[in-house]
Amino acid sequence: MKKIFLILLSLAFFTACERKIDTFTVSSGTANFKKYISIGNSLVAGYADGALYTTGQKYSTPNLIAGQLQLAGSGAFVQPMVKSEYGVDFPGSAYRLVLGPSTDCKGVTSLGPVPLIGAKDPLLPNVGYAVNNFGVPGAKSFHMLAPHYGDPALLALGKANPYFCRFAQTAASSVLQDAMAASATFFTMQLGDNDVLSYALSGGMDTITSPAFFGTVMGGVLQGLTSNHAQGVIANIPDVTSIPFFTTVPYNGLVLARQSLVDSVNYAMSVFHLPFTYHLGQNPFLIPDPTSVLPFKVRQMVAGELVLLTVPQDSMKCYGMGIVRAIPPQLPYPIPKQFILTLEDIAKLKTATAAYNEIIKGLAANFKLGLVDLNTRMNELQSGIVWDGIALNAQFVTGGAFSLDGIHLNPRGCALSANFFIDAINKQYGSTIPFVDITKYPGVIFP
């Protein structure tokens, strides 16, 4: 009996023990993370789902990075918090989008992004405290240097940015001045996306910042940020045309389901003297072509051209947009140019982005900063990646990384992006900052 007790006792001893493994060791390497700031555009601010709102800010990429840097002795990370889950209130501001049912002009109810209506946070007064996150939605590179960019008096003139008005230290401040006044030891910067993106979002109506000017401005911003010997990493510019905002609606999304429909469209085209032939199934949309010698100055879209996510779906489904107007006068009804990127537009965007990225690479080297190659990372996301068991890609809604505006990342995507920054920080400074656990962050929320 005693023997059996002894055996059981020894078993109990062994089975009680858990296996021991050394835990992760956090270190700063050659970096000083004592005071961390972030600077840039909406991708920095935590903008998501078409709005800046409390939860989106909590999941902002810099806030997630800050959480990890704090393990290496970084101080508090203060963001200019929006006190609403619906957005910031200023003329023309949108409500945050959520997934919900909506009914289209044909009476079909489906799941898609719908505005979440509620009380937005008033734009003013200014938050009244110093911040660490200098992300300004809508800001282009040169806006960082613009004085009075957060001056409420200039809002109506379009010379100030509403989001910067919320946290500018003085009416005369530029974003860079305020950021420099923070005396950071470490910064991350994600800037320059809007210099191409606003052109893309306007269907080629806005301007693309010239690479020469871009280089000067970015150099100036980095000069300022590093003037107190702050260290940091800067991100390059992903190919904006690969985000779901541009890749969700196909160029040939005009579906003709019945032969009678095909016949009547082909008949109409012959009447209009337009040499376009339509077939059963998918057909290219009609778009304006100012250089065309054809009547109505229209043409069919070609493969590679992009339709913006904001194209009015009901006009396409029920009123003939993209083909022939459904109500008199029944004439060719091209999709307005503001919703289209042509091959020419796309080439301009790609050329500018490539030039920007060469500049950013050079500046990172000159200022001895780490480079976050978001361009490559986002290309990889295009073809799909697996991170800790989560399959992610750049598809709208189902891809799991982008938020419902099709431009900005959702919390899970922000966590992924934060890891890209942390990876670059560790490589540049020999630090061991742990990755963000992306499994803790939600993707798009399904009702």
- Candidates 1, 15, 125, 273: give the one binding other proteins (CB under 8 A): 15
- Is residue 54 near other proteins by the rule CB under 8 A? no
* Residue among 247 and 283 whose Cβ is closer to other proteins: 247
Q: Are 160 and 124 in contact (CB under 8 A)?
A: no
Q: Which two tokens stand for residue 223?
A: 């000069």
- Long-range pairs for 222-229: beta carbons < 8 A, 24 or more residues apart: 222/189, 222/363, 222/367, 222/369, 223/367, 224/176, 224/179, 224/180, 225/39, 225/176, 225/179, 225/180, 225/184, 225/187, 225/189, 226/367, 226/369, 227/180, 228/180, 228/183, 228/184
Q: What is the full DSSP assignment across 60-122?
A: -HHHHHHHHHGGGT---------S-SS-EESTTPPPPEEEEEEE-TTS-EEEEEEE--S-PEE
Report, in Å, the least distance between residue 317 CB and other proteins: 21
* Residue among 201 and 397 whose Cβ is closer to other proteins: 397
Q: What is the full DSSP assignment across 404-429?
A: TTSSSB-HHHHHHHHHHHHHHHHHHH
Report, in Å, the least distance between residue 36 CB and other proteins: 18
Report, in Å, the least distance between residue 351 CB and other proteins: 25
Report, in Å, the least distance between residue 85 CB and other proteins: 13
**Interface positions, 349-378, toward other proteins (CB under 8 A):** 376-377
**Interface positions, 66-125, toward other proteins (CB under 8 A):** 71, 99, 101, 111
* Residue among 328 and 388 whose Cβ is closer to other proteins: 388
- Candidates 46, 62, 162, 443: give the one binding other proteins (CB under 8 A): 443
Helix (H, G, I), strand (E, B) or coil at 45: helix
- Candidates 400, 402, 415, 431: give the one binding other proteins (CB under 8 A): 400
- Candidates 11, 124, 205, 255: give the one binding other proteins (CB under 8 A): 11
- Is residue 390 near other proteins by the rule CB under 8 A? yes
Positions touching other proteins (CB under 8 A) are 2-3, 6-7, 10-11, 14-15, 17-24, 26, 71, 99, 101, 111, 376-377, 380-381, 383-391, 398, 400, 412, 419, 434-437, 439, 442-447
